[in-house]
Structure 1
Amino acid sequence: MLAAGLDTQAAVTATDVVKVYGSGPNAVRALKGVTISFPTGRFTAIMGPSGSGKSTLMHCLAGLDTVTSGSVRVGDTEITELSDKALTRLRRDRIGFVFQAFNLLPTLTAEQNILLPLDLAGRKVDRAWFDQVVRVLGIADRLGHRPSELSGGQQQRVACARALLPRPQVIFADEPTGNLDSASSAEVLHFLRMSVREMGQTIVMVTHDPVAASYADQVVFLADGQLVGHLPEPTPERVLDTLKSLGA
């Protein structure tokens, strides 16, 4: 099983996960028996060539897609056996998401967007935690602005705050800097890194960018639906060398 710090409790674990799209001669095996755990309080990047299965793996881990066979656990909860209602509740209460598209509601202010998941869940806001999150993310002076009044980097930081506020067990980030320039990308990655270091957050990020991956504690590599490598303490150069060896 690939993971750094196996003595650390796993936030998410996949065991022999297979994902097949379609059936018969046209079936596509996107994941071919993937087994991996993601340690609590660590930042893991998932990388691989186009079509390697990295986004499919993240979607299965997050309960956004069903597995064909195998097991996925979030903490001690086996999610492949949950009903749709229970799975929706788990994603709402225990999982955070940061996407390439910021997915902010344009008519709401930054603060309203950040609070939206808690409002929908009927949960009380911990104002001290809210204040800490927006301070760390550097958006305390932007809370009254709507998304159209914010830069791309600021919008993504709002999205990060929205993901952090419910204190999820794990945040899944799918190409979170894909729509940002290099300066804004560095800001967002710095804050994701800080959320792990200072807030104990667990982050699993899919990225194609070696620089983005270098912010993680470890990188795992997929190719043709299988795990093919693990790189602790990554640097952009080491990530790039590994990707080249995989033909990415």
Structure 2
Amino acid sequence: MTMTEPAPANETASSKASAARAVGLSKVYGAGETRVVALDEISIDFARGEFTAVMGPSGCGKSTLLHCMAGLDTLSAGTTWIGDTDLTDLKDKALTKLRRDRVGFVFQAFNLLPVLTALENITLPMDIAGRKPDRQWLEEVVRATGLAGRLAHRPAQLSGGQQQRVACARAMASRPEIIFADEPTGNLDSRSSGEVLSFLCDSVRELGQTVAMVTHDPVAASYANRVVFLADGRVVKDIRHPTTDTVLEGLRSTTPGTSTHRPTPRT
């Protein structure tokens, strides 16, 4: 089965409030001859209720941008917000609480505990925090994942796509203001990728979530409302209503030496 390209997720007004934003964000590693500027005074916002993909060549700062904006990494300069909260003002304990309560994370590795069921993995962060899940919201998330019949299964009994959907549901279970996804389909085949990407689209369109996703795949990026391109630690292009073809053109115009071959969805 091949992965078909979807219609873009619902459009949102450009004036919508930001779920997360950065102003003058810089991240520098090392000093002297070993100094590397990963992010160079980036200003960007991710609108509420919108699906944004972040693309660019290896080493351009894609993952670093998400990690800094999510409070997983410190800034060298600039300011980041989740909603109206300035992360640079927060102490470690408050930052940990913000990440737990208001931010969701999905990574390339599923990061599921093998001894727990799918449902137990989904609710684990709230269990650790001593919080009871909102049952109505949890049912909505489970419905969107299509995993209702698999909640009692452990990760080894699930396909890769199902495991990543469990990871997505875990990120959404606390109803965060934004979900940061770093190459969430990187370990999946085309069918499983389509399942996960369709779920992320549905979470935005039907559940009002906000998603910011790093990807290298033009087909994956075409599921988003908007694609932001990075190069050398800076935002160099920003397009809306993306298709695989317009994403490829964006990559060609921002990445020297990029192939002009249009990728075919994997089987």
Pairs within 5 Å for 1:76-115: 76-115=84-123
| SS class of match (2:78) | strand
TM-score (norm 2): 0.90
* 2:188 corresponding residue in structure 1: 180
Matched, 1:58 2:93: no
Select which of 170, 189, 192 maps to 2:197.
189
Distance 2:13 2:242 in 1: 15
Gaps of 5+ in 2: 1-11, 259-267
Distance 1:62 1:127 in 2: 26
The farther-off stretch of 77-86 and 152-161 is 77-86
* 1:73 corresponding residue in structure 2: 81
1:128-160 per-residue CA deviation (whole Å, 9 max, x = no partner) reads: 211121111100111111001100000001011
* 2:135 corresponding residue in structure 1: 127
Distance 2:47 2:56 in 1: 20
Select which of 195, 199, 212 maps to 1:204.
212
Select which of 143, 147, 152 maps to 2:155.
147
1:93-122 per-residue CA deviation (whole Å, 9 max, x = no partner) reads: 000001100000011000100010111111
Matched, 1:159 2:161: no
Contact 2:183–2:214 (CA under 8 A) maintained in structure 1 = yes
* 1:16 corresponding residue in structure 2: 24
Letter in 2 for 1:33: E
* 1:169 corresponding residue in structure 2: 177
Percent identical among aligned pairs is 62
Letter in 2 for 1:228: V
Letter in 2 for 1:135: R
Gaps of 5+ in 1: none
Letter in 2 for 1:232: R
Residue 25 of structure 1: how far off its partner (Å):
2.1
Distance 1:17 1:126 in 2: 35
Distance 2:13 2:144 in 1: 26
Contact 2:237–2:254 (CA under 8 A) maintained in structure 1 = no
Q: CA RMSD in A?
A: 1.0
* 2:37 corresponding residue in structure 1: 29
Letter in 1 for 2:166: V
TM-score (norm 1): 0.97
Residue 127 of structure 1: how far off its partner (Å):
1.4
| SS class of match (2:146) | coil
Distance 1:74 1:133 in 2: 22
Letter in 1 for 2:222: S
Distance 2:239 2:185 in 1: 21
